[in-house]
Chains A and B, each alone.
Chain A
Amino acid sequence: MNPVKLSLLNHRFEGVAQSMANTLLRTGRSGVLNIARDFSCCITTAEGDLLVANEGLPIHVLSGPDIMARHMVELSTGLKRGDAYLNNSPYHGCSHAADHTILVPVMDDEGRHRFTVLAKAHQADIGNSIPTTYHGSAVDVYEEGALIFPSVKVQENYETNEDFVRMCRMRIRVPDQWWGDFLAALGSARIGEQEITAMANEVGWDTLTEFASEWFDYSERRMIDAVSSLPAGKARRSSTHDHFPGTPEDGILVNVDVEIDPDDARIRVDLTDNMDCLPCGLNLSEACSRTAAMVGIFNSIDHTVPKNAGSFRRLDIRLRENCVVGIPRHPTSTSVATTNVADRVANPVQCAIADIAEGSGMAECGAVIPPAVGVISGISPRDGKPFINQVFLGMTGGAGAPTTDAWVTVGHVGNAGFCSLDSVELDEQRQPLWVRSRKLVPDSEGAGKFKGAPSIAVEFGPVGCDLSVGYVSDGMHNPAKGVREGHQAMGSNQFRLLPDGGREQLEGCAQVTLNDGELILSISCGGGGYGPPQEREPEAVARDVAEGWITPERAEQIYKVRLDANGRPDMEATSRLRSDFAA
């Protein structure tokens, strides 16, 4: 195919994914969709190879859509134009049960299956046994309680199956919100179908198929180029998820073995030397195991390499069955698969790459999900009706990078900062709660030549009622680590603040009920630093002090920078401090 056509059709396909995403974002109802942007849209080939995705949450798309698209073909008795399938099964390629995914086969006029479009959206509620979509302590999928749809046909001839709708309405706590989000995802997939069909009418189906094949080859060439420029090496890294109900006493230790092979232009990640699946909701689905490793890799290399089945050809990711970071067997619960343990895979992968290749990789991002990003519920005193919603009041977690300080509001590594932060006023208008404070914490950053994000402390509580807060906050005992001599960040924490001024320590994974007059203090995990802090530019350290990010004491003790009375770096004293430290 001529290279101009290749470029042109790529623009067009990217435009389709973008149209799908715009539609979903603008029509979705729940906050998790249009505030957290916890959704994704992508296109695979008929064979299930990922062709293009919208720019969105990294943990959502790199792997998973491919597996779901293949299951749709295998499990169906014959695909037809007008069909739509729902898949949220972690045993069939979905990330976790909360991510309802609509798949639409794009058929040509002869009834041949050409592409599959997918719209995946995290739901406000999925009928779990407790009012949260992150059930960290569920011993299995039965206790988790969600309705599981392993590639179930929900539309035929563009008509929705009302039996299925009734089932969902009887089980999902906020049926109208779910229905709205269902329509949004379906609308998004149909837009994708329409636009691809229109494109095919213009250039022909075979041209589109030929494009896909050539685009994969191009993407593979870009990947070869990127990997070949890295030094060869192997590194083993580990990262530990805090102890939660259902995990071993020491938490979940995750080992990653990473090998960069520039001669063969391959990156290998082995996740098999890890514990078996656990009786809790923290296990990863296959989609999340694979994707998390890939997130660590793509965070570490030339960011302009296209992410699709072509560039993925240069990756070997080894998983094993019944492994906590591998391929779960039914009825293992993977309720929390997109965040906690997934981050414990992506983070050490990017650290390992930094270990091998200076100037590449990243430090660890902070762990989640703190109470300020938890699911809140209760009975509103305003109208006597129950409410349930995930709030996004504060998480930070950005990691130091080879040439830049952290992006403060990254959230966690699998989110990459896509989540919006709630307006305090909007939250207070919509729910009977108030936010007393929301502040970044001084001296909490992972120190480094390029520093990690500080923690954020949020105090909030109910107004005129009780408020239940469900959260799964990792990173209290195992904060984000630094790389290449960068330091670790301050960990997460959470307390109940009592009306008399006292405070009470809370567990990292809990469903807490606050009484009227009480507050919860949620502290997010900061991000690790990249490079030695004593190599940070003294001017940058002086700015950090002036802006209150760090204290003068920390500047001197950790960054080895002394400031004069005007807050300028005392260069002489600083170089003495730094050379003494080196000696």
Chain B
Amino acid sequence: MRFAVDTGGTFTDLVVENDDGSCSMFKARTTPEDPVAGVLDALGVAAEAFGMPREDLLSRGGILIHGTTHAINAIITGRTAKTAFITTEGHGDMLVLREGGRADTFNFTQKFPEPYVPRRLTFEVPERIYADGSVIKPLDTDSVLNIIEALKEKQVEAVGVCLLWSIANSDHEEQVAALLEEHLPDVPYTLSHRLNPAIREFRRASSVVVDASLKPMMGRYMRSLEGRLRDAGFNGRTLVLTSQAGVIDAADAAEAPIHIVNSGPSMAPVAGRFFAGQDSGISDAIIADTGGTTYDVSIVRNGRIPTSRETWIGPRYRGIMIGLPWIDVRSVGAGGGSIAWIDSGGLLHVGPQSAGSDPGPVAYGKGGTQPTVTDASLMLGHIDPDFFLGGSMSLDLDAAENAIRTVVAEPLGLDVASASDAIITIATESMVQAINDITVNQGIDPQEVVLVGGGGAAGLNSVRIARRLGCRQLVIPEVGAALSAAGALMSDLKAEYYGAFFATTADFNHEGSQKVLDGLGERCREFAEGPGANSFGSRTEFRVSARYATQVWDIEVPLRGNSLATQADVDGFIEDFHAAHKALFSFSDPASPIEIIGWTAQVSCSFSETPALRLASNEESGEPRSRKTYFGDTGWIESKVFPFGSIEPGVEIKGPAIIENSFTTIVVDPGAIARRKPTGTLVIDV
């Protein structure tokens, strides 16, 4: 038996996978002061449903996979450790200056971002290494000792160290580390060449200070989680989700907590990739995960989930740079809670303001007065007010109608239904633009791919989104409402190792390159034989970050054969680089030498042979009902309403129709045709 526990802002979701592959979903309230309590509560709810003591349930578990927003919340609210930053003399403003850049040209009401570590906790060490690893100025150890005294005096709780060119010669960083260990033994620290050996000092610096600042609290958290699970009867292995759509041991997460900060959104594409392949046989997909306040978009290309190094917590340029690659996910502020409003020129907007879940949409009756996307869906008859969240919440339709009438319909001279349709139309367009942004950047043609909808609100306008994009098919998995948790159960144990050796195809250094690859390969083997032992098998992949000699930005290209030892290997890589460049940017430059500036080895160890997840109980059944619904093309029209679980495989459902269960509602617009696969997934030809 395996458990996946995802601690979200409001609810802690639990998915229990039985040994036969069937699964069940449970929820408990998140307990922000002590999130582990919420984890245990959710397990308690499940135990009750299975009719056994919690201890018995836990004792059957082999693996517990945990996703947590604990780290990212601490960063966002500034509740991390008091952290110092040590860097090269003359470069102490690295975290202030960042890499420049700004958005929102004419908006001068936004504050310039504060550095992650204040200047008063930033220390410069006399030392300098050059690009080729040579020492321009040796490290002044007396200065380091003075800095350590200052750190003691200021009661610093963590230290991040990033020296220029430590990726070419790590001696100075290692010397600082030795002095820290000797003179400041109880304070955790992070070194840039160990955590993130990549060129661009700001990104490395940002990685180390974020990582160090999380170490004290995440260390305590992981020890508490493992200890209390053990006390409650769990004898299995506790794994934690990472930002790279993998899992690592809880103890490793405590050692390098930066790897788990963005674990939440990274899971949907893992599940999306699986369902796209299983249910449509297409290896390129767009995955849209709809929450109450954000719409997260990710993609799968040739069966791979691309990563991005442009990783920010918060808005680009103003947020916090993580500097390590994570799954490329774009978020827009468009969800059920997005607010509709009219500007002074008479134009309708939806978002980016959101009513969130509190007060939430007007219909919740919790004090919201501004109409939202959910209110509009209710007015159109797409959501059944009596069946909302399985009927657990009664809704105030009059208030919602009144808000849409006064705020949107009357100023635009429309009736309430047309105004509601307009709100959905505008919200849909924002989502489409978010998808365009990621597909253009990743070189994907939406017309060649399948759209996978996940999250509770995905079904409301996914047909419209797929039509607008020209996607071939829309896929909504049975577990779509919990796409992330499903992804967690499909994730592999993963580790990535990085190297920063420079090589150019103009004069290729086979020996040096192979040495880097061998070193990384060795670390992967150690991982596969250590933490990865007892898995179903391990897989190691090598990628390089490379660019044309005249370019500044690099792209990642997998190394076929995992080797560059011979000229034939290099020729193969050159060919792949040109092809990858052409796919991404629509041109290649065969005459230009290619420079490799970064090396990555990823080892994955699989824990599950059959990732196919089915809900254990399909409680919904019964005859289709019908209700009045509104669509822009048809006006008011009677739609059949089908319980999701009641649809037999192979039966064609022609739109207009509504398919719903207690987790989600799927709107099948007029002209679209839905079919359920034997796997449980709904596939819609839009």
Contacts and interface: CB of A to CB of B under 8 A. Distances in A.
Interface stretch (A64-72, A214-222, A313-321): A214-222
Given A177-B550, A407-B112, A428 B346 contact: no
B97 A7 contact: no
A410 interface: yes
A418 interface: yes
B202 interface: yes
B101 A417 contact: yes
B199 A8 contact: no
A7 B348 contact: yes
Contacts of A307: 106
Interface stretch (B72-80, B88-96, B475-483, B666-674): B88-96
A253 interface: no
A423 B199 CA distance: 9
Interface in A28-82: 29-31, 34-35, 37, 55-56, 58
B345 A22 contact: no
Contacts of A31: 552
B90 A55 contact: no
Contacts of A225: 344-345
Contacts of B167: 425
A416 interface: yes
Contacts of A299: 106, 108
Range of interface residues on B (Cβ < 8 Å) = 35 or more
Contacts of A440: 93, 96-97
Given A423-B202, A424-B164, A8 B550 contact: no
B199 A3 contact: no
Interface stretch (A137-145, A430-438, A487-495): A430-438
A579 interface: no
Contact of B120 (A11, A15, A548): A548
A490 to B, nearest CB: 16
A166 interface: no
B592 A27 contact: no
Contacts of B153: none
A419 interface: yes
Interface in B159-196: 164-165, 167
B345 A221 contact: yes
B636 interface: no
A418 B97 contact: no
Interface string B261-291: 0000000000000000000000000000000
Interface in A388-442: 392, 394, 398, 401, 403-411, 416-421, 423-426, 428-429, 434-440
B426 A426 contact: no
Interface in B404-428: 412, 422, 425-426
Contacts of A398: 112
B107 to A, nearest CB: 4
A1 B130 CA distance: 63
B346 A437 contact: no
Interface in B95-144: 96-112, 118-120, 128, 130-131, 136
A187 interface: yes
Nearest to A176: B550
A419 B106 CA distance: 15
Interface residues of A, number: 81
Contacts of A435: 90
Nearest to B199: A425
- Max count, chain B CB within 10 A of own CB: residue among A3, A12, A26, A225: A3
A583 interface: no
A263 to B, nearest CB: 18
B685 interface: no
Contact of A546 (B99, B120, B344, B502): B120
A401 B109 contact: yes
A404 B111 contact: yes
Contacts of A438: 90-91, 93, 97
Given A8-B425, A55-B103, A221-B344, A404 B433 contact: no
A101 B145 CA distance: 56
A149 interface: no
A19 interface: yes
B29 interface: no
A437 B89 contact: yes
A183 interface: yes
B437 interface: yes
A3 B109 contact: no
Contacts of A546: 118, 120
**B-side interface mostly:** loop
Contacts of A421: 97-101
B131 A176 contact: no
Given A3-B412, A15-B436, A416-B102, A437 B90 contact: yes
A175 B343 CA distance: 49
B548 interface: yes
Interface in A442-456: 456
Contacts of B591: 176
A259 interface: no
Contacts of B93: 438-440, 456
Contacts of B91: 424, 437-439
Given A31-B552, A416-B106, A425 B112 contact: no
Interface stretch (B12-20, B580-588, B643-651): B580-588
B49 interface: no
Given A58-B105, A426-B552, A6 B347 contact: yes
B440 interface: yes
A547 interface: yes
A298 B106 contact: yes
Contacts of B349: 7
A18 interface: yes
- Max count, chain B CB within 10 A of own CB: residue among A37, A219, A428: A428
Contacts of A22: 437, 440-441
A304 interface: yes
Given A4-B348, A218-B345, A437-B91, A424 B201 contact: yes
Contacts of A434: 130, 136
A4 B419 CA distance: 9
Interface string B197-225: 00111100000000000000000000000
Nearest to B166: A425
Nearest to A124: B550
A362 B105 contact: no
- Max count, chain A CB within 10 A of own CB: residue among B108, B128, B425, B551: B108
Contact of A428 (B109, B112, B131): B131
A298 B107 CA distance: 9
B106 A222 contact: no
A407 B96 CA distance: 11
A125 interface: no
B396 interface: no
Contacts of A459: 90
B430 interface: yes
Nearest to B547: A29
29 contacts: A3-B348, A4-B422, A15-B433, A18-B436, A23-B440, A26-B553, A26-B585, A29-B550, A34-B553, A37-B101, A56-B105, A180-B589, A183-B587, A405-B112, A408-B97, A409-B100, A410-B102, A418-B105, A419-B100, A420-B100, A421-B98, A421-B99, A421-B101, A423-B201, A437-B90, A439-B90, A439-B92, A456-B93, A547-B120
Given A425-B164, A436-B90, 9 more contacts: A11-B429, A22-B440, A58-B106, A180-B548, A187-B587, A225-B345, A437-B91, A440-B96, A547-B119
Interface of B: 89-93, 96-112, 118-120, 128, 130-131, 136, 164-165, 167, 199-202, 343-349, 412, 422, 425-426, 429-430, 432-433, 436-437, 440-441, 502, 548, 550-553, 584-587, 589, 591-592, 597
Interface of A: 3-4, 6-8, 10-12, 14-15, 18-19, 22-23, 26-27, 29-31, 34-35, 37, 55-56, 58, 174, 176-177, 180, 183, 187, 218-219, 221-222, 225, 298-299, 303-304, 307, 362, 392, 394, 398, 401, 403-411, 416-421, 423-426, 428-429, 434-440, 456, 459, 463, 546-549
